[in-house]
Amino acid sequence: MNNSLPWPADAEVLPVAAVRPVLDRLASLSTTHEQDAAAIPGLALTDEEVAADPPPALEQIADELGGVRVRGLTMLTLQIEDRTDVGPYTLLGPATSFYPLYETPEAAVVLALDEDGTPGAVYGIGEDLALRLAADDLGAYLERFTDALEATLTALAERGPADEDSEDARTDAAEQLMDQHLFAELLGMTEQADAAEVPLQDPASSGLTGLPAGALAAADLREAPVGACVDLMEFDAPGDPLEMQIAWSERGRVIALLGG
């Protein structure tokens, strides 16, 4: 595994056995719907040079699964190569504090990593830079993703064989279906009237312990339901709000907002 980033080495490796059932589902769907979906081989299953640098805690899973493409579009990846701090990543902290699972120029789904590298919750980040809780952990997100993938592939199959369909129209349909079944909700593309909003609190009165020094605000999502939202831009920060950064703790369920 390529380890070019200074990853913390203290986190326990997530056992692949814990996600074996969902990995088997993904493999089955990719085989059954091979005209529309393809599994990206894990790092241990390919002879190609892969520049990806996943965190050490994902080693077992990343060795078996590299991601999933639908109609050639990467809808899930554990092999991100280029890291950036622009677009949806503007308010996120160092590259070692999160790992992208899906990204577009304006939005992303990321796995939160605590300071010691422990993987935690999964969040969606839309153009509004709000954080939406997508899943409690990577395993739960893989389950949610696979449910959406299955619904998408079933709908594509109902269009008929891929070689009898318009390639562009089928690809557009696949993208729209994945948005409908997964990404629209995660990335704030649709209004969620019943979504819980978790407020940013003054660290001194929040009752939270172990927050980073200099934290300006904090949000506690330890009891928040999936779908809960934290509007980071709502906080009235001194200076340029786009220079703020966040830090995760409690397996990604506590968010601290730091000054730039």
Backbone angles phi and psi of 48, in degrees to 5: -80, 150
pLDDT at site 193: 64
Q: For the residues 15-39, what does the mean pLDDT come to?
A: 97
Please say whether the structural domain 16-186 has been given the CATH code 3.30.67: no
pLDDT at site 51: 77
Which residue would you say has higher pLDDT here, 1 or 14? 14
Backbone angles phi and psi of 124, in degrees to 5: -100, 145
pLDDT tens for 128-172 read 999 999 999 999 999 999 999 999 999 999 999 999 999 999 999
| pTM reported for the whole predicted model | 0.94
Percent share of the chain, pLDDT over 90: 80
From residue 75, give the alpha-carbon distance in Å to each of 12, 67, 118, 221.
27, 8, 24, 26
pLDDT tens for 85-106 read 889 999 998 999 999 999 999 9
pLDDT tens for 182-198 read 999 999 988 776 789 99
β strands within 11-157, DSSP E:
37-41, 65-70, 73-77, 98-103, 108-113, 119-125, 131-135
Domain residue ranges of the chain, discontinuous segments joined by +: 16-186, 203-258
